[in-house]
Amino acid sequence: MAMELKQSLKLSQQLVMTPQLQQAIKLLQLSRMELLEQVREEMDQNPLLEQPDETPFGDTTDKEPGEASMEAANTELPAGVEARTPDAAPEFKADGDGPPEIDWEAYLNSYQFNEPTTASNKGNVATEDLPSFEANLVEKEDLVDHLQEQLGTLRLNEAERRIGMLILGNLDHDGYLKLDDVEGDPLIRLANEADVPMGLAERTLRRIQNLDPKGCAARDLQECLLIQVSALKDKSAPLLGLIIKRHMKYLESKNLPAIAKDLKVPLEEVVEASKLLPKLDPKPGRNFSGDDAQYITPDVFVYKMGDDEYTVVLNDDGLSKLRISGTYRNALKSGGVGPGQTKEFIQEKLRSAQWLIRSIHQRQRTIYKVTESIVKFQKDFLDKGIAHLKPLILRDVAEDIGMHESTVSRVTTNKYVHTPQGIFELKYFFNSSIARVSGEDTASEAVKHHIKQLVSQEDTRNPYSDQKIVELLKAQGTEIARRTVAKYREVLGILPSSKRKRYF
């Protein structure tokens, strides 16, 4: 049988992910802090990038920072310097009939930087009206450092210090002494490692447990609570200690009558002892963290400018001021850079700098457009609060601004907006729909808010069951299944009715 060779032509289209396109998409999905870190890294590696407050040697031009940076990115290259553009790529389309993904290549290649990127301060909001730096900064002291400072004030010998440091080094985030690979008492392992007697280790442990915050270095919840109870100056404290020793399960389920019956004490005394529980912290180390300072810096601000008008203001601080060094621009224009590897190096760094600046401006422009669309959909929320949050999905915003859902998803992840109702992640405004008996559907977040309000207003002696909450929501016009109430309650961290019941 003879083999026959044929030639055929086949036309197909595929997405070419150039390095520049990959960088643009990566910048779009970075959080603000990650982007600033990326910019710092690029500035360290690329001598052509600079901040406008760093006056370049030989650049005597007097221009506004934004004007300087935009003009620098659009500077014509001097004669003899190759001006390559990124490899062409077809439009980035989504599967199905959805709107096309933003055409990064076409947009960034033709972007004119001598035009304003966005109306980032359309409302002319004064800088002093922006939230203070302290309002967006959360910094927590390290638990081990906090305890170590106190341990240093105690009179410890060498062996006690050795076991003490081992104990502090094995505390978890909640302040408990735990070893993942050890069953039983972890202090036995630590005493062996420190080569100290078990009695000395126990004494040192007790001294640490009574440092601030009390209860740290406990080996379980019961020990943690007993340490704190022993420090209470209340006549009911001894009874509470006895309850914790013998009836933790009853205490957890708030079955106070069973405790009173077993201990043969009046229910009133058990109730009085239980009133001390809010003074105890089951996780004494949770207010401390070994992480670095955590920043929640909004990427965009939304301000109410009138009775029915909101303006969107981008947080451009540290981003739009990036520009290309005037020193290198002047050297290229004057022919001060000779041919060879130096010239090729500067060419490559110049192209890289231009693309970074353009990508950042496009990222900001996309965040602005998405936020404007969210404001349009969620005006009732901005006016009246969480209870008036409307159902919203990515497709709604994507169709409104002519982008693909994947772009909206990237730009709303780890991006925060400051609104009259507080600071929220952009993804917060996207909620599933819950049917109402009459009128428009409501958002799932709004339903969670209603559940939280109902529980906060309930009679703690007779808390609402999940079925009762279903009935109350239905009376308000929201029809929801009991299992959905249970799911939302767990998400909100609300205990079942049996564990919310109080006797005082």
What is the biggest distance separating any 2 CA atoms in the chain, rounded to whole angstroms?
103
Please give the domain boundaries of the chain with CATH numbers for all domains: 19-131+313-358 (no CATH), 140-221 (1.10.10), 434-500 (1.10.10.60)
**pLDDT by residue (tens digit) across 46-69?**
888 887 654 443 343 434 333 333
Arithmetic mean of pLDDT, 92-117:
41
For the chain, state the CA radius of gyration: 31
Q: Dihedral (C-alpha) 364, 370, 373, 378: value to the nearest 10 degrees?
A: -110
Mean pLDDT lowest for which of 27-36, 141-150, 154-163, 466-475? 27-36
Band of the pLDDT at 289, cuts 50, 70, 90? low
pLDDT of residue 392: 87
Average pLDDT, the chain: 77
Number of residues assigned to the chain: 504
Whole-model pTM above 0.75? no
**pLDDT by residue (tens digit) across 374-392?**
999 998 888 888 878 888 8
Q: How many CB atoms lie within 10 A of CB 259?
A: 23
Q: What does the alpha-carbon distance between residue 245 and residue 242 come to, in Å, rounded to a whole number?
A: 5
Tell me: pLDDT of 106 over 50.
no
Of 500, 440, 434, whose CA–CA distance to 473 is shortest?
434
Arithmetic mean of pLDDT, 167-176:
92
Q: Dihedral (C-alpha) 428, 430, 434, 439: value to the nearest 10 degrees?
A: 110
**pLDDT by residue (tens digit) across 419-444?**
998 888 898 888 776 666 555 666 77
Band of the pLDDT at 317, cuts 50, 70, 90? confident
